[in-house]
Amino acid sequence: MASAPYDDRDGWIWMDGEFRPWRECKVHVLTHALHYAGAVFEGQRAYGGKIFKLDEHTERLFYSAKTLGMEVPFTQEQVSDACKEALVKNNLVDAYLRPVIWRGSEMMGVSAQKNTIHAAIAVWEWPSYFSPEARMKGLRLDISDWRRPAPECAPVKAKASGLYMICTLSKHAAEAKGFDDALMFDYRGQVAEATGANVFFIKDGEIHTPKPDCFLDGITRRTVIGLAKKRGIKVIERAIMPEEMEGFEQAFLTGSAAEVTPLSEIGPYRFEVGEITKTLMLDYDACVRA
C-alpha cells in the first residue's frame, strides 16, 4: 500500500462534510491553493485506534487557517470528530492522518476574497517516516543552502503549504547526495530544524534545542521535552550556532511523522546513538500507546 499513488487507492476521504470514495476526491486545476499556496494542513498519527494529541493538532490547524485569513466552515469539534470517523471508516488503527484546508477556484489571482474554503481528511497506513534500518543507525543529514525565513517575511507559526517549498528543495538536494534529510539554518544563520522535524542535541547529560521563534514549535517536540523533564533531564531552549554541533554527543529529530529519530551525522559533524536518545525513543513509544 505504501507504494500506491495517493490518487489511486481504496478507501474513504472526508471532504467538505461528507465521506467520498478515495478516487473521487478531486480539485480543479485552477484551485487557488495550487497556484498561490493557500492551504494549511496537519500531520498526525493514530496508535491502537486513538489519534495522538488530536485536539492540539486541530487547534493548530485552525490557528494556521486563521493566520492565512481563511474562515473554516466547520467547527474544531466537527473536524476532530471527522478525523476519528475517518480512522474507523477506513478500518485502520495504526495510521497517519492528513487534515487539509484550502482555498477553492472561484477567483484566480493574488486576491481570493470570494473563494470557498474547503476541508478534507485522509488517513492511510504509513510506517516510520524513515526506514527502521536508518533510524537505528542514525540518519545522515546534509546542511541545506536554504534558510528558514524571518517572522517578518512569512507566517512562520502556521503549518502552511507554501513554507514547505524550500523543505522539498532541501530534501531533494540532500537525497541526491546520498543523505536521508537536510538540516536547515534560519535567516540569522542559527540552527533551526530539519525539513519536516525539530532537532535536539545532547551534551553532558543535558538536552539543547533551538528556540522555535521562526519555525514550528512541534507538538511532538513539546511532548518529548515533557518526557525528558519527567526523567529529570535538563532541557535548554536557546540559540544554537552551527559550529556548536562539533561539541554535541548525540542528536535526534522529533515530529509526528519522524517520531523520535536518532542522527549519526549532520554535514561534517558526527553523533552517537546514545542512551538518552534511546530512552526517549522508548518513552515516546510508550506515551503514544498509553
194-236 pLDDT per residue, tens: 999 999 999 999 999 999 999 999 999 999 999 999 999 999 9
pLDDT of residue 186: 98
pLDDT at 126: 84
| Residue 157 is assigned to a structural domain of this protein | yes
**Residue 6 included in any domain:** no
**Among 80, 95, 124, where does a domain finish?**
124
pLDDT for 83? 98
Q: Are residues 161 and 252 in the same domain?
A: yes
User: What distance in Å separates the CA atoms of residue 3 and residue 14, rounded to the nearest whole number?
Assistant: 22
Cα–Cα distances (Å) from 257 to 32, 130, 262, in that order, read: 27, 9, 14
199 domain residue, yes or no: yes
pTM: predicted TM-score of the whole model, two decimal places: 0.94
For residue 213, the one-letter residue type is D
- Select from 38, 182, 146, 175 the least CA-distant residue to 100: 38
Same domain, residue pair 281 and 137 = yes
User: For position 282, which CATH number holds?
Assistant: 3.20.10.10
DSSP letter for 158, please. S
Q: Indicate if 160 and 207 belong to the same structural domain.
A: yes
pLDDT attached to residue 127: 77
- Are 177 and 284 within one domain? yes
Determine contact, residues 166/183, Cβ cutoff 8 Å: no
Catalytic residue among 50, 114, 137, 159: 159
For residue 203, indicate whether it is catalytic: no
> Same domain, yes or no, for 210 and 283?
yes
Same domain, 251 and 231: yes
Could you tell me if 59 and 118 lie in one domain?
yes
Which residue range is the domain that position 253 belongs to? 132-288
Name the residue with cell 525565513.
Answer: 149
CA–CA distance, 282 with 133 (Å, rounded to integer): 16
| Number of residues assigned to the chain | 290
Q: Which residues of the chain have pLDDT under 70?
A: 1-2, 129-134
Q: What is the pLDDT of residue 3?
A: 73
pLDDT tens digit sequence for 215-225: 999 999 999 99
Could you tell me which residues are beta bridge partners of residue 253? Answer: 199, 261
- Average pLDDT of the chain, as a whole number: 96
- Contact between 173 and 190 under an 8 Å Cβ cutoff? The reply is no
